[in-house]
């Protein structure tokens, strides 16, 4: 099913180089410095329940496409807020198999095929006729020791895997993993959105949790900042090397102390003026940058997603149901306050992502090609795909160079797709480098060095792994 | 003149697949669900007057390019508002021939060459030396029965052709065609812009025409909506399967009944507040969506064109003179009110177009890859070209898939260019699929299925043909 | 080091055509109608001081990339505002050599390699080991007569080279060149930003210099305009054929005489209202267009760069230090006032550039494909690169055609990079045309004609050379 030369250029000169490059990285370890797997999997090491629960229900790439073509989320067993959820996993699987043709031309197809062939030895294209057979084979394998989370982690050659965790998280599973004696490296990532975005669900409660977890009074600006500092320290003690910030925009601010205190007071008491929520997030990005300068955590910013766009889906199913839609994102003016303050700090690493591809050549590559702190995150979310990755290299490299990029992020909660996603990323990098060599823009020995940088070294450096 | 492999990739593996795919669709029937041909041509079936009037004067792709290089619109016989128009058609043709080199690298060149060779058997490149000979040959042929509109329609293998018609149109030509016993399927499309856009020329008169055509009092919001419902019903009775909406932006609104009534009152009486014109258009998109849910007409939205940009050209020559310029267009927030209300309706088909290509990967593909109602219209207008079509497939497919697209629209008032335009679209789809096969992203049997879907099935499904 | 087929497509059919096309233009004369070389070089014809001062210190493409990876500007000998500057040129060179790998995949790499091989006969890749050897060889050559500015100018086959000069410049070096008897054609370009942008450093002083240079009282709107007219006349007498305007946006305005007088009064007296600075620039673009209609100077507009983004770098090192960042730029509405007034003037040439590539297919190509005055400037600055140039051809050609473009601008202050930059541009044009031929979109004889148009004829026509 999987051609060994897939995703390589069809033109022979570039393909020949790509094939040679790929040979040198196809078995390289996986560094996954940003993602959304569940640390309890590795702490508890229980079998995954069934093929549908493992491969379909948690993957919004899959159910959003099915939904767009008239398949109901209920029939796919997507969890509902009221807890009702009755879909039979085998039925869910059959629906997926019957509609598998919808994924033609999408990265999901590449990921799922890769998983079928490499993890389960299944080499026919999935369809409604072989659906049950596939289900049975996968289901049986999931009950074997080879398919327990830790065994898969090792088989995938994962050298480090970062999860994403709330600022007030106890990190108990991370501790449990560390104390278990198992050698897998699973790191937490400090994600404070829930205590920074005043429109986040349960914001006031989240502040209380922050106060408790830090044992700090957060009713003042100073106390709030101290609590965050303590929590960052706690994350570092538990292995974290990075923070992550998901904001609607890339806006940053640098208020005076008095203004910041007053703003926090309004946020804390819920007596916000119009614009306060966004301004507070903007100010907090700059505060977080300052703390990164202090404590060395690499900072990641993921802006530009309009969350929960589909009102009815949100009301019934809640967050993260494939209805987050990218929107135009401005960086040049937005990042200036933060960069004015910390942009030239030598030990600060600030990785910026985008969902607006037009910004790569226009804003992000020029910024990353100048500011010492800035690095470009890999193509994110919808753009984490062969064409998207290739466009990223084509539009960012000439101005930012390769060395202001940070390798690949799989950014997934679909654990089994991790090797498939890294494989796609490696192939596209090989294809891009193959073309540069075939067009004599770089020499072949440089391409061999670069593919190793892109796959391993730049990730380790940027994320301090 | 026309190489059989034109527009196919130059790289051999992809080209070989593209050639095979094309063989299976090159003679497929033409479905033209959106365009601007004149129904009177097919009702009256009179000969086209002369080569210039057929091929040049009505084609703004042609005269805009000539005008941009200093050729006056007067010399091209473009109709003037004062009715003065004296250009000799042969002279117009000579000017076109002399400047034919200007179209190198443009789709116009492809369309005209295709028409020359396939419709008129002319295989030399047009230039000032063979201009007269070409004129004479074309002119003679136009007087033959084989070049009457209905004969061409049949020779082009057009299975269905939609025109675009005002909400108050009598559709007399459509009736005449139907009653003539001729088998050609020419459908009207309900285009209510002239009674929705309060800045449309003759808006108040248009409302009167609407009232008369529907035999309804449109002085109230309720009456106005009823009139529109009745006219939609009338269009359906005359074969329509779709509506079309050309707006400056994609803004939608969902006002309360009271607010909508008050807004309509201000619009109807001409006592608008600032912003009312846009708000009314926004509200009407949502109303039209609601009516589509009721009556099943597929809804098309074409936003983003700043019309009549050249003041002096507009004053002398009027609308549609090649001076409509695309502008940045936002969809995510703009469409939300409509989608909140009708986005999950199972029988609603809402086809969205864009002139802002940056929105394909950022906004439109993510929206279409989630909402059950949404489909992506093909590349429109300036982007209805080999590179534009290829960028569309490259930027939209990975997130929207093929099945949330709707095939090709020729969108033309240049009747003879229809087969040429469909041929270009088929070739580019073959080229794209050929590359996916050559890069092993899809299997060859899938590509054969897909090219048929893109050429025929998805069009029929989206437009209910 | 330099493969003769570099930058050509790897696919054989297109590459074969590209190679043949390139043969016909590789030795064509260089027309450099827009750039930032120093006229004193050619007036005084002194040796360039050393390799670092010639190749590194003045090239912000180079030091911005080094800076982004932690190399200090001080260590590179970038001039500081306080005049302190102590870097040893050999040390600067060593730093550059050691970090030369950072430029992999960037156009800088192509330019520098070209210069090494073609100007200095150096064919090994630069690295820390051969750094001293390279330094010595280059340093010695710079002291030879063959490397004096005029000798290089001739060796580069430069037919015309435009500099960029303030409105109040004495043009003494241009006069000196002309009166020297040397045959090299070095033209000034009228760049009035410093007397139009009220936030330009030293604006009030600049107005005084304008008044003195024109011998005109500029305290009134009329006197100010007269002074500008006289200075344009002075530039024309000294060989200028063009003006250039670097604005933050593309905004234009067309105020009544009264409003313009009042606005100028506020600008002149420094009593500006909010928005006045931008409005005045907008009005002045329209005034400059009007003067171009009168005196025939081709007008160039370069909008969209947010200057001096890095506050700390700006404070220490001043302007033009690689911290100018592109930002989204709107053209359709912005240019309308100017185009309403002068867009249809037959003898007006208005060349518009962009740093926002998303505007090529959306706004600029449609505008240039309609308005007789408009031409598209080549890809500018960050986009002056193989991928950027290719995207320009791919996104602009289908709507604007080739004939609404104006050839290449090297836009550089790095004199030795001029042949390298033109070579890259020619190669990419050959590659693009090669593909069009290989895909049968144009005939091969047309490609041969077009490559000559793009390299020579269209430049001469647009810039009246």
pLDDT-based confidence at residue A357 (cuts at 50, 70, 90): very high
Contacts of B105 in chain C (CB under 8 A): 397-398, 401-402, 436, 441-442, 450
Over residues A277-335, the pLDDT tens digits come to 999 999 999 999 999 999 999 999 999 999 999 999 999 999 888 889 999 999 999 99
Instruction: Identify the sign of the CA torsion A362, A368, A374, A376.
Output: positive
CATH architecture observed for domain A12-47+146-463: Alpha-Beta Barrel (3.20)
C213 φ/ψ angles, rounded to the nearest 5 degrees:
-65, -30
Q: Which chains touch B (3 or more CB pairs under 8 A)?
A: A, C
pLDDT-based confidence at residue A188 (cuts at 50, 70, 90): very high
pLDDT-based confidence at residue C321 (cuts at 50, 70, 90): confident
Structure tokens at A90: 């085998």
Contacts of B19 in chain A (CB under 8 A): none
Chain C's closest residue to B70, CA to CA, is C372
Contacts of A450 in chain C (CB under 8 A): 104-105
Tell me how far CA of residue B2 lies from CA of A129, A222, B117, B410, C437, in angstroms. 45, 74, 7, 20, 12
Structure tokens at B407: 């095939």
Which CATH number does C47-146 carry? 1.10.2020.10
Over residues A286-300, the pLDDT tens digits come to 999 999 999 999 999
Burial A186-214 (b: 16+ CB within 10 A, else e): bbbbbbbbbbbbbeeeebeebbebbbebb
Tell me how far CA of residue B177 lies from CA of A393, C84, C160, in angstroms. 55, 85, 65
Structure tokens at A51: 């093929």
Contacts of A104 in chain B (CB under 8 A): 401-402, 442, 446, 450
Of B10, B105, B125, the CB nearest to C398: B105
Percent of chain C with pLDDT over 70: 100
Question: What is the SS3 assignment for B31?
Answer: strand
Suggest the residue from C338, C366, C394 to mutate for an interface test with chain B (most B CBs closer than 10 A).
Answer: C366
CA separation for the pair B416, C38 (Å, rounded): 56
Contacts of B104 in chain C (CB under 8 A): 401-402, 442, 446, 450
Element of type H or E holding C86? none
Binary contact (A9, B439; C-beta < 8 A): yes
Contact between B353 and B380 (Cβ < 8 Å): yes
Structure tokens at B17: 């697949």
User: CA of A462 to nearest chain C CA: how many angstroms apart?
Assistant: 12
Flag residues of chain B having pLDDT under 70: 2
Number of residues that this document lists for chain A: 465
CA separation for the pair A96, A76 (Å, rounded): 8
CA separation for the pair B380, B411 (Å, rounded): 8
Tell whether the model's pLDDT for residue A85 goes beyond 80. Answer: no
Instruction: Identify the sign of the CA torsion A223, A226, A228, A231.
Output: negative
Domain A48-145 is in which class? Answer: mainly alpha
Size of interface A-B (CB pairs under 8 A): 137
Contact between B165 and B241 (Cβ < 8 Å): no
Chain A's closest residue to B449, CA to CA, is A101
What lies within 8 Å, CB to CB, of B436 at 6+ separation is A105, B442, B447
Tell whether the model's pLDDT for residue A2 goes beyond 90. Answer: no
* CB-CB neighbours of A271 under 10 Å: 9
Binary contact (A401, C106; C-beta < 8 A): yes
What lies within 8 Å, CB to CB, of C331 at 6+ separation is C250, C352, C354, C359, C363, C364, C367
In C195-275, which residue ranges form alpha helices assigned H by DSSP? 203-214, 221-237, 257-269
Q: Which chains touch A (3 or more CB pairs under 8 A)?
A: B, C
User: CA of C357 to nearest chain B CA: how many angstroms apart?
Assistant: 10
Chain B's closest residue to C435, CA to CA, is B10
Cα B255 to the center of its chain, rounded Å: 30
User: CA of C200 to nearest chain A CA: how many angstroms apart?
Assistant: 19
Over residues B243-285, the pLDDT tens digits come to 999 999 999 999 999 999 999 999 999 999 999 999 999 999 9
Contacts of B401 in chain A (CB under 8 A): 65, 68, 102-106
Structure tokens at C67: 């800076």
Burial A148-169 (b: 16+ CB within 10 A, else e): bbbebbeebebbbbbbbbbbbb
Suggest the residue from C349, C441, C452, C457 to mutate for an interface test with chain B (most B CBs closer than 10 A).
Answer: C441
With vertex at residue C7, the alpha carbon angle to CA C6 and CA C8, rounded to the nearest 5 degrees, is 90
With vertex at residue A441, the alpha carbon angle to CA A440 and CA A443, rounded to the nearest 5 degrees, is 70
Contacts of B440 in chain A (CB under 8 A): 2-3, 5-7
Which CATH number does B47-147 carry? 1.10.2020.10
Of A69, A327, A391, the CB nearest to B403: A69
Contacts of A324 in chain B (CB under 8 A): 366
Suggest the residue from A391, A441, A448, A462 to mutate for an interface test with chain C (most C CBs closer than 10 A).
Answer: A441
CA-wise closest residue to B414 among B37, B79, B157, B32: B37
End-to-end alpha carbon distance in chain A: 35
Number of residues that this document lists for chain B: 465
With vertex at residue B84, the alpha carbon angle to CA B83 and CA B88, rounded to the nearest 5 degrees, is 125
Structure tokens at B306: 């700043």
User: CA of B25 to nearest chain C CA: how many angstroms apart?
Assistant: 19
Structure tokens at C56: 């590194």
CA separation for the pair A134, B257 (Å, rounded): 53
Tell whether the model's pLDDT for residue A32 goes beyond 90. Answer: yes
pLDDT at A319: 85
pLDDT-based confidence at residue C276 (cuts at 50, 70, 90): very high
CA separation for the pair C215, A77 (Å, rounded): 82
Binary contact (B372, A67; C-beta < 8 A): yes
User: CA of B4 to nearest chain C CA: how many angstroms apart?
Assistant: 9
Tell whether the model's pLDDT for residue A10 goes beyond 80. Answer: no
ipTM: 0.96
Contacts of B365 in chain A (CB under 8 A): 382
pLDDT at B282: 98
Contacts of C324 in chain A (CB under 8 A): 366
The domain defined by B12-46+148-462 carries CATH number 3.30.110.30: no
User: CA of B276 to nearest chain C CA: how many angstroms apart?
Assistant: 21
Residue keyed to tokens 């007053």: A262
CA-wise closest residue to A161 among A367, A410, A342: A410
Question: What is the SS3 assignment for B285?
Answer: helix
CA-wise closest residue to B67 among A157, C261, C65, C374: C374
Task: Give me the residue spans of the domains in chain A.
Answer: 12-47+146-463, 48-145
Binary contact (C366, B325; C-beta < 8 A): yes
Q: Provide the phi-psi class of B304: left if phi over 0, else alpha when psi is between -120 and 50, else beta.
A: left
User: CA of C371 to nearest chain B CA: how many angstroms apart?
Assistant: 5
Tell whether the model's pLDDT for residue C10 goes beyond 90. Answer: no
Burial class of residue B140 (count of CB atoms within 10 Å of its CB; 0-12, 13-18, 19+)? exposed
CA separation for the pair A446, A420 (Å, rounded): 26
Residue keyed to tokens 């079928």: A116
User: CA of B278 to nearest chain C CA: how many angstroms apart?
Assistant: 17
pLDDT-based confidence at residue C269 (cuts at 50, 70, 90): very high
Q: Are strands A305-306 and A325-326 parallel, antiparallel or unpaired?
A: antiparallel
CA separation for the pair B99, B229 (Å, rounded): 48
User: CA of A361 to nearest chain B CA: how many angstroms apart?
Assistant: 13
User: CA of C123 to nearest chain A CA: how many angstroms apart?
Assistant: 13
Contact between A80 and A122 (Cβ < 8 Å): no
Tell me how far CA of residue C110 lies from CA of C100, C103, C385, in angstroms. 12, 9, 9
Contact between C321 and C73 (Cβ < 8 Å): yes
CATH topology of domain C12-46+147-463: TIM Barrel (3.20.20)
pLDDT at C64: 96
Contact between B345 and B293 (Cβ < 8 Å): yes
CA separation for the pair C212, C108 (Å, rounded): 41
Number of residues that this document lists for chain C: 465
A402 φ/ψ angles, rounded to the nearest 5 degrees:
-75, -30
Per-residue HEC secondary structure of A155-211 comes to HCCEEEEECCEECCCCCHHHHHHHHCCCCCCEECCEECHHHCCCCCCCHHHHHHHHH
Tell me how far CA of residue C397 lies from CA of A240, A391, B108, C368, in angstroms. 50, 20, 12, 10
Suggest the residue from C68, C322, C386 to mutate for an interface test with chain A (most A CBs closer than 10 A).
Answer: C68
Average pLDDT over residues A187-211: 97
* CB-CB neighbours of C133 under 10 Å: 13
Binary contact (B343, A110; C-beta < 8 A): no
Over residues B108-141, the pLDDT tens digits come to 999 999 999 999 999 999 999 999 999 999 999 9
Over residues C212-257, the pLDDT tens digits come to 999 999 999 999 999 999 999 999 999 999 999 999 999 999 999 9
Size of interface A-C (CB pairs under 8 A): 136
Structure tokens at C208: 């005084």
Binary contact (A68, B438; C-beta < 8 A): no
Contacts of A403 in chain C (CB under 8 A): 69, 101-102
Over residues C125-184, the pLDDT tens digits come to 999 999 999 999 999 999 999 999 999 999 999 999 999 999 999 999 999 999 999 999
What lies within 8 Å, CB to CB, of C167 at 6+ separation is C190, C191, C192, C194, C195, C210, C213, C228, C231
pLDDT-based confidence at residue A382 (cuts at 50, 70, 90): very high
* CB-CB neighbours of A99 under 10 Å: 19
Contact between A387 and B394 (Cβ < 8 Å): yes
CA separation for the pair A348, A294 (Å, rounded): 9
Contacts of B7 in chain C (CB under 8 A): 439-441
CA separation for the pair B135, A330 (Å, rounded): 53
């Amino acid at each position: 099913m999987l051609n060994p030369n897939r995703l390589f250029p069809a033109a022979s000169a570039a393909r020949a180089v790509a094939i040679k490059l790929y040979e040198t990285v196809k078995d390289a370890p996986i560094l996954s410095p940003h993602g959304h797997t569940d640390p309890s999997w590795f702490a508890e090491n229980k079998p995954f329940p069934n093929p549908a629960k493992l491969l379909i229900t948690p993957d919004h790439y899959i159910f959003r496409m099915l939904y767009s073509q008239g398949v109901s989320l209920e029939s796919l067993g997507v969890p509902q807020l009221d807890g009702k959820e009755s879909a039979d996993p085998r039925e869910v699987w059959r629906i997926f198999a019957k509609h598998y043709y919808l994924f033609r031309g999408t990265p999901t197809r590449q990921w799922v095929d890769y998983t079928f062939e490499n993890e389960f030895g299944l080499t026919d294209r999935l369809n409604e006729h072989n659906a049950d057979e596939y289900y049975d084979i996968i289901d049986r394998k999931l009950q074997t020791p080879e398919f327990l989370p830790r065994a898969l982690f090792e088989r995938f050659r994962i050298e480090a895997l970062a999860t994403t965790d709330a600022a007030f998280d106890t990190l108990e599973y991370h501790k449990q993993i560390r104390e278990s004696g198992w050698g897998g490296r699973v790191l937490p990532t400090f994600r404070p959105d829930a205590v920074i975005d005043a429109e986040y669900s349960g914001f006031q409660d989240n502040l209380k949790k922050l106060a408790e977890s830090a044992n700090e009074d957060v009713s003042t600006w100073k106390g709030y900042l101290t609590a965050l500092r303590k929590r960052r320290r706690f994350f570092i003690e538990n292995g974290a090397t990075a923070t992550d910030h998901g904001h609607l925009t890339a806006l940053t601010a640098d208020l005076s102390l008095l203004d910041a205190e007053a703003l926090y007071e309004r946020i804390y008491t819920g007596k916000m003026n119009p614009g306060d929520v966004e301004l507070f997030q903007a100010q907090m990005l700059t505060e977080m940058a300052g703390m990164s300068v202090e404590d060395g955590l690499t900072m990641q910013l993921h802006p530009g997603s309009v969350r929960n766009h589909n009102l009815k889906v949100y009301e019934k199913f809640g967050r993260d149901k494939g209805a987050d839609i990218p929107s135009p994102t401005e960086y040049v003016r937005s990042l200036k306050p933060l960069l004015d303050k910390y942009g030239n700090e030598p030990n600060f690493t600030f990785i910026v992502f985008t969902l607006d591809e037009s910004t790569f050549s226009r804003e992000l590559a020029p910024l990353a090609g100048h500011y010492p702190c800035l690095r470009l995150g890999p193509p994110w979310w919808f753009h984490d795909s062969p064409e998207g990755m290739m466009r990223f290299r084509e539009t960012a490299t000439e101005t930012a160079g390769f060395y202001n990029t940070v390798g690949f992020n799989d950014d997934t909660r679909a654990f089994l797709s991790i090797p498939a996603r890294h494989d796609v990323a490696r192939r596209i990098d090989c294809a891009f480098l193959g073309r540069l060599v075939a067009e004599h823009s770089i020499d072949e020995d440089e391409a061999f060095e670069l593919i190793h940088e892109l796959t391993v070294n730049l990730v380790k450096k940027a994320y301090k792994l």
